[in-house]
A and B are shown apart, each in its own frame.
Chain A
Amino acid sequence: MNFISIDSVFFEYDNGYEALKNINMEFNLGEKVAIIGQNGAGKTTLLKLINGLNKPSKGNIIINKVNIKDKTTAEVSKDVSYVFQNPDDQIFNNDVYSEIAFGPKKNGVKGNSLKKIVYEAAELCGLTDDLKKNPYDLPYATRKFVSIASVLVMQSNVFLLDEPTAGQDKIGIEKLQKIIDYLIKKNKIVITITHDMEFVVNNFDRIIVMANGQKIIDSNKKEIFWDEEILNVARLKQPYISSLAKDLGVPGQPITIKEFIKQKSSDLYA
């Protein structure tokens, strides 16, 4: 039995705009998945359905054996944590510590155990020196880590990250990689929306491509990043290395620098 099953789900906004059409997907514990696709493809809408912020117009979402149709967002969020695309939609406390501690505190965690989990999340998100600061004195990219830390402490089974790579520098990207690895080690499900193809290539094996409210393909990176038709339909770009290999006629459909060098050298000695 899959931990999350999305079964023939449709979603229509109040104004009649059909944002999702017949979505079917499954996710299992310990799995990390990237969702990619153009702006407006329905990626964020889908995450908001999994989190219970929106309800499907048709179809069912089963999480941990329960149909979430009749559950409130608060109930669903015990299993599913969502990090908003815009950290400012989420942050409301006056200092970083209180922001991170807010959720567990509401759940009755107190004293040293509260302190311990807040510090662990802060450490993982690189916020140890910022705990006393007002989140709004921190740069946008750091605020994103404040919002990530404040959901990490909820210790739910599913983590939905909406565009965590936006505006991140090299250090931020490395931090994100560490956080995702940490969650996978703890057997969580991590579903990430991102436009950073290099980040996808370096961190995810399973990739779901969406376009125009539909799932185009759910597969691995080679199958997706070397399929021109899929790339065109979803307005995606090949990773830089693949595109270079293609233009040069380097065989073996490389995606990473390592693969490229391997192909190139075997090519030379062929």
Chain B
Amino acid sequence: MLIDYFDFNNNEGVYMVNVRLEGVSFRYLIAKNDVLKNISLELHSGKLTSIIGPNGAGKTTLAEIIRGFIPAYFQGDLRGKLYFDENVISINEENVAEYSKKIGFIFQNPFTQITGSTDSVFEEIAFGLENIGIAEERIIDRVSEILRLTNLSELKDRNPMDLSGGQKQRVAFASILAMDPDIYIIDEPTSQLDPASTEEIFMIISALKKMHKTILLIENKIELVAEYSDYVVAMNEGEVIAYGTPQSVFSSERIKDTDVEIPVYTKLFKEMGKTEGLPVTKKESISKLKGD
């Protein structure tokens, strides 16, 4: 039902967007060193690519480049190429608004994302749609549907500023869903959420995959990354140190002795003395342990 509903502004059918970074390096204006070093990666439509790694590894900076806030708003020395749909693009102050319709960005800190200028959760979620001039009836329908999908209907009349941290974070996520972008860049969407709400967010991300959305997720909850991601990018000190399927990344020698976290299941098997075919999810662990 999510898929049908989200067909919103894609009358021509499924909209395939791929994003590619080629040899991207970046240095902030007054910094001595590059915060990103020669990053190459691809984002595929219908796939979830997750970036993991310690804080300060460059994950959020990378996200800022893909959505164009670097270099449009944050200055520095940006090298390498960014492709959308096989075309090299350069985002600047003139076209950044245009790109922002294509790219939905969910902030790491929900306290920053909530506008503070609306009186209810309903208005907050409608805010973006109003700004791009969608007809009122359509906004009402769409916001009601989003409230239902994100289990926020009960909160619709509450003032967003009075909500708990976790509730605010769900409202922030819902306001981006309302805009139905092709590309989602999601920076730690569950940091303030309880375990059940966290799983709900991942269920929504799974639904977005089925809708052929292109999704980049930055997340520290490693067991969920392992379960839901198609590809994992492990970053450390501005570099990509491992890139591939969750299984290949979490058993990679290159993340050993770094501060990149691995799933508890992989840890369990390592502590049991296993070195090969390490599982990354509960399901894989069960099938391996049953085979013992």
Interface residues of A (CB under 8 A from B): 13, 15, 37-40, 44, 85-86, 88-89, 139-142, 163, 166-172, 195, 197-198, 235-237, 240-241, 243-244, 247-248, 257-258, 260-261, 264, 268
Contacts and interface: CB of A to CB of B under 8 A. Distances in A.
Contact of B197 (A39, A140, A167, A268): A39
A108 to B, nearest CB: 33
A85 B192 contact: yes
Contact of A240 (B109, B163, B223): B223
A248 B279 CA distance: 15
Interface in B265-292: 265, 267-268, 271-272, 282, 285-286, 289-290, 292
Contact of B54 (A171, A198, A237): A171
Contact of A257 (B109, B164, B195, B267): B267
B109 A235 contact: no
B194 A235 contact: yes
A198 B195 CA distance: 11
A156 B260 CA distance: 35
Question: Is chain A's binding surface mostly helix, strand, loop or mixed?
Answer: helix
A169 B195 contact: no
B268 A261 contact: yes
B55 A240 contact: no
Given A237-B195, A247-B282, A261 B265 contact: no
Contacts of B292: 268
Contacts of B163: 40
Interface string B251-273: 00000000111011101100110
Pairs of residues from A and B, 5 with the lowest C-beta to C-beta distance, nearest first: A39-B166, A237-B195, A235-B196, A167-B191, A166-B191
Given A240-B265, A248-B286, 9 more contacts: A44-B165, A86-B165, A168-B55, A236-B194, A240-B264, A241-B264, A247-B282, A257-B271, A260-B268
B70 to A, nearest CB: 15
B198 interface: yes
- With most chain A CB atoms within 10 A of its CB, the pick from B60, B194, B196, B264 is B194
A163 B165 contact: yes
Contact of A244 (B188, B259, B286): B286
Contacts of B167: 39-40
Contacts of B188: 167
Given A39-B167, A44-B165, A244-B285, A86 B109 contact: yes
A88 B195 contact: no
B108 interface: yes
A60 B16 CA distance: 60
Contact of B282 (A197, A240, A264): A240
Contacts of A89: 111
Contacts of B23: none
12 contacts: A38-B166, A39-B164, A44-B165, A85-B165, A88-B111, A167-B188, A167-B191, A169-B55, A170-B261, A236-B196, A243-B282, A264-B289
Nearest to B56: A139
Interface string B165-208: 11100100000000000000000100111111111000000000
A72 B98 CA distance: 51
Nearest to A198: B264
